[in-house]
Amino acid sequence: MSLISLLIALAAERYLSSSLWQFNSYYQRYTQFIRRTRMLESGLLSALGTLGLIFLPVAAVYGLLWLIDDSLLHLIFSTVILIICFGCIKTRSSYKRYLMAAYRGEQSSCELMHAQLRSDKNLPEMGFGQTLVWLNYRYYIAIMLFFIFLGAPGVVFYRLVATLAENPGDDQGKVEADDDMSEEQQAAQPENLEANLEKRVEERAVEGAEAEQDKAGIELEQGVINNAVSPCQQFLFWLDWIPVRLTSFGYMLVGHFSKALPVWLESLFDFSKQPSAILADVAQKSEDLMVDSEDCTAEPCLLVRLAKRNLLLLLAIISLLTLSGVIS
């Protein structure tokens, strides 16, 4: 049953791009409802309030699945939850726009898109290809692993924690606003996007030295903010601890095992290194990146192909475990 749900969800999520099938549209409505009812306005908001925000939807999904006796309805409901929690349209659109800008030779636009994506996802400094590898894990591999071991409630639980961790300020009115648009609607705005990017590039060039000073100030401010790690980020660190090491081991199997093994072993029991850094380092060693430094499409394309091979490997393993009766 789990394998069937995964196959259906992976095939469907790319084509079901309306807001009806996007996790963040439901997340925004849920948080707006919480605000209107004032359920979490208390001194316990930072601790028990956050736990309540996470566990109420999880308990609701678990309760509905428990009440459903029919196996077919159970499969349909679990698959719908999986489709909603899978993927991220904004990341896919950013990748496409990045490649389009790169093919046109617009290096500054690529850098701005890269910086914007890292800012939106609250990620540390890393290459664009490494960013895509991490987001592939966050929105696909991790979802699959939690679904296999904890079912649909586990998927909702992980996606909620990840969303809160990506937005430590809990700016719930603005969470992934662009994800409410379909891929076609986002693609219909290339002129505005390019105009904004060109405007920002021109402003950066005009400001000159003052822009560099402002950038340094912004980076310092961001560093101070990032040091105040939210409880959800700390919790997500431990949620990702085992899945990240399993995923990075898969990268070694589908890539250069001997080159990546020392990096994987070095990070195996490292409790201080961030999961995103572990996954990015192993993925980079698992793939040949001997490419032209001026070609900003080579690294993302190579690492995306590596991530796709790893996803297929995970599906093959799940299939074997299903056929052998280890998982249902």
Q: What is the pLDDT of residues 182-239, one digit of tens each?
A: 444 544 444 454 455 555 445 544 444 444 444 444 443 343 333 334 778 888 999 9
- Of residues 236, 154, 185, the one with CA closest to residue 25: 185
- Which of 78-92, 215-229, 269-283 is predicted least confidently? 215-229
Compute the distance between CA of residue 266 and CA of residue 168 in angstroms, rounded to an integer: 29
Q: What average pLDDT does range 10-39 have in this prediction?
A: 83
pLDDT digits (tens, 9 = 90+) for 86-102: 978 888 888 888 888 88
Q: What average pLDDT does range 73-95 have in this prediction?
A: 89
Q: What average pLDDT does range 260-264 have in this prediction?
A: 93
Longest dimension (CA), the chain: 67
Position 265 scores a pLDDT of 94
Position 199 scores a pLDDT of 53
- At 304 the three-state DSSP class reads helix
Helices (H) and strands (E) in the chain, counts: 16, 0
pLDDT band at 78 (very low <50, low <70, confident <90, very high): very high
Position 187 scores a pLDDT of 47
Position 46 scores a pLDDT of 57
Long-range contacts of 278-282, Cβ-Cβ distance < 8 Å, separation of 24 or more: 278/244, 278/245, 278/248, 279/133, 279/134, 279/137, 279/244, 279/247, 279/248, 279/251, 280/126, 280/127, 280/130, 280/133, 280/134, 282/248, 282/251, 282/252
Instruction: With a cut of 60, say whether residue 118 has pLDDT above it.
Output: yes
Give whole-number Cα distances, 231 to 40, 49, 216, 308, in Å.
Answer: 17, 12, 27, 31
Q: What average pLDDT does range 5-27 have in this prediction?
A: 87
Position 38 scores a pLDDT of 63
Return the higher-pLDDT residue of 262 and 203.
262
Q: Domain coordinates of the chain in residue numbers?
A: 2-233
- Of residues 81, 62, 61, the one with CA closest to residue 9: 81
Angle at 53 (CA atoms; ends 84, 9), nearest 5 degrees: 10
Instruction: With a cut of 90, say whether residue 164 has pLDDT above it.
Output: no
pLDDT digits (tens, 9 = 90+) for 122-160: 888 888 889 999 999 999 999 999 999 999 999 999 999
